[in-house]
């Protein structure tokens, strides 16, 4: 993998079959991507939440053959620009069916999309939201907010589930090659090997035994044990909490006290 860090929050990465640009879209450091199949010039755009002009210009500079607009999950910072990007460069919209945008190809995992000389494989990766999906093109997987490097998306949303997130770590990611590249919804990319070795939450997910608490905090007015802490992409950290009802939740450090 070669990387060139450019100006304006744009990073270019190339492997033998695929070249991609990662755009940092906003102050929350949400990522959007333009992906090219190097053999045919087919393009896909992932999570056009903002910077639509920049994403469109990059696609046009790469020949403009946009086949797919891929949405990982329905939070606005990932999909608010879907209508605008389609109006600019075309492409069929792929994503969870409940999105606030017109979906041409609703997906829930298990689908394969033609992408020039390659395929885009869709996996269900619930956790941060119930209908989150990830898109795999060769060794690249766009995972949305399922993962932040050595951390995680939060799971305290209405339809979020730490149990589903941990099941997905075991059932989808544990068997992938270590050098599989994981493109996160916010912050820098990672690899399966790095995450399995050093993600504090994945360690809990992949452990055979129930983890011992590493501390205690107050959450929603009650003392609760912390099972793991992880450093986040924005300089903060997240906590994995074990709640009185027996469930686990991943929350930003700002949500807990003490
Ligand atoms: Fe999100």
Taking residues 147-154, what's their average pLDDT?
98
Q: How many domains does the chain have?
A: 1
CATH of residue 12's domain is 3.60.15.10
Residue 28 lies in a domain: yes
220-248 pLDDT per residue, tens? 999 999 999 999 999 999 999 999 999 99
CA of 144 to the centre of ligand 1 (A): 7
Residue 252 lies in a domain: no
Q: What is the extent of the structural domain holding 164?
A: 2-211
**For position 87, what pLDDT does the model report?**
98
Q: What's the order of all strands across the beta sheet hosting 92-95?
A: 2-5, 10-14, 18-24, 31-37, 43-46, 66-70, 92-95, 105-106
CA of 40 to the centre of ligand 1 (A): 32
Question: To 5 degrees, how large is the angle CA 93–CA 95–CA 101?
Answer: 65
Residue 16 lies in a domain: yes
Residue 33 lies in a domain: yes
83-131 pLDDT per residue, tens? 999 999 999 999 999 988 999 999 999 999 999 999 999 999 999 999 9
Residue 236 lies in a domain: no
CA of 32 to the centre of ligand 1 (A): 13
28-75 pLDDT per residue, tens? 999 999 999 999 999 999 999 999 999 999 999 999 999 999 999 999
Q: What is the pTM of this model?
A: 0.96
CA of 67 to the centre of ligand 1 (A): 24
**For position 8, what pLDDT does the model report?**
66
CA of 117 to the centre of ligand 1 (A): 31
Sequence-distant (6+) residues with CB within 8 A of 83 are: 101, 102
Residue 225 lies in a domain: no
Residue 165 lies in a domain: yes
CA of 147 to the centre of ligand 1 (A): 10
The percent of residues above 70 in pLDDT, for the chain, comes to: 97
CA of 239 to the centre of ligand 1 (A): 17
Residue 207 lies in a domain: yes
């Amino acid at each position: 993998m070669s990387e060139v860090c450019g100006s304006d929050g744009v990073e270019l990465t190339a492997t033998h079959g695929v070249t991609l640009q990662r755009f940092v879209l906003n102050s929350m450091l949400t990522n959007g991507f333009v992906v090219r199949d190097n053999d045919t010039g087919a393009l896909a755009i992932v999570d056009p939440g903002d910077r639509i002009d920049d994403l469109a210009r990059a696609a046009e500079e790469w020949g403009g053959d946009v086949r797919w607009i891929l949405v990982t999950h329905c939070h606005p910072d990932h999909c608010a620009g879907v209508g605008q990007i389609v109006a600019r460069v075309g492409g069929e919209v792929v994503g969870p069916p409940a999105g606030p945008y017109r979906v041409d190809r609703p997906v829930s995992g298990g689908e394969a999309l033609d992408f020039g000389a390659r395929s885009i494989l869709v996996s269900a990766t619930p956790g941060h939201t119930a209908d989150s999906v990830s898109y795999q093109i060769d060794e690249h997987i766009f995972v949305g907010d399922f993962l932040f490097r050595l951390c995680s998306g939060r799971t305290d949303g209405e339809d979020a589930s730490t149990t589903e997130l941990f099941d997905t770590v075991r059932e989808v990611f544990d068997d992938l090659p270590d050098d599989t590249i994981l493109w996160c919804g916010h912050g820098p990319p990672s690899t399966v090997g790095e995450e399995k070795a050093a993600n504090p939450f994945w360690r809990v997910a992949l452990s055979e035994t129930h983890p011992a608490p590493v501390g205690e905090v107050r959450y929603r007015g009650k003392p609760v044990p912390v099972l793991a802490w992880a450093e986040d992409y924005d300089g903060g950290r997240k906590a994995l909490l074990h709640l009185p009802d027996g469930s686990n939740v991943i929350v930003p450090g700002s949500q807990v006290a003490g």
